[in-house]
Structure 1
Amino acid sequence: MTRFMDVHHGMKGITADELMAAHRADQEIEGEEGVHFERAWADPESGIVYCLSEAPSAEAVLRVHDRAGHPADEINPVPLAV
């Protein structure tokens, strides 16, 4: 499995409760795609949200986000971490 960092734009003003709700929506269906969403971060001022996941493919991550109602604008594999 590979780690992925995906980015969502256009979520200006997102609150902690809204971020948690979006993260939970992903977690409710992640198993159907073999994905595990680890964490999410947001900058309410810029409207950028980042999600870290472990998944069999970028496409699986994108499918979960699409189904949960908040499609990702970009996704990047994270092959190396310290």
Structure 2
Amino acid sequence: MKFMDVHHGMVGITPEQLRAAHTADLAVEGEEGVHFEQAWADPESGTVYCLSEAPSREAVRRVHERTGHPAAEIHSVPFSV
């Protein structure tokens, strides 16, 4: 199943910092059966979005907690067009 998670409080995040956070997730994602597909950031609002394929919301939560940037929200995305 696909999930979109949201992080808040990352005002001023740079492309390099987003890449580093995404790379950290990729380094451990396999241990939870998760694959992070893409990440987006708005440095002005401090909001970061991540799209993943995962067995559960909890698996996504565990990866982000392990890498030091817990998600404030995790939404299932059962379909898209």
TM-score bracket, shorter-length normalisation: over 0.9
Q: How many residues align?
A: 81
Q: Displaced runs of 4+ in structure 1, greater than 2 A? A: none
Return the offset for 1:80. Answer: 1.0
Corresponding letter in the other structure for 1:66: E
Partner of 1:31: 30
What CA distance in whole angstroms lies between the structure 1 residues aligned with 2:38 and 2:79?
17
User: How high is the TM-score relative to the length of structure 1?
Assistant: 0.98
User: How high is the TM-score relative to the length of structure 2?
Assistant: 0.99
Gaps (5+ residues) in structure 1? none
Q: How does 1:63-78 map to 2 (within 5 A)?
A: 63-78=62-77
Return the offset for 1:26. Answer: 0.2
Cα RMSD for the two superposed structures:
0.3
What CA distance in whole angstroms lies between the structure 1 residues aligned with 2:75 and 2:7?
12
- What fraction of aligned residue pairs are identical, expressed as a percent? 73
Partner of 1:45: 44
Deviations 1:26-74 (A, max 9, x none): 0000000000000000000000000000000000000000000000000
What CA distance in whole angstroms lies between the structure 1 residues aligned with 2:59 and 2:16?
25
Gaps (5+ residues) in structure 2? none
What SS is found at the alignment partner of 2:70? coil
Partner of 2:11: 12
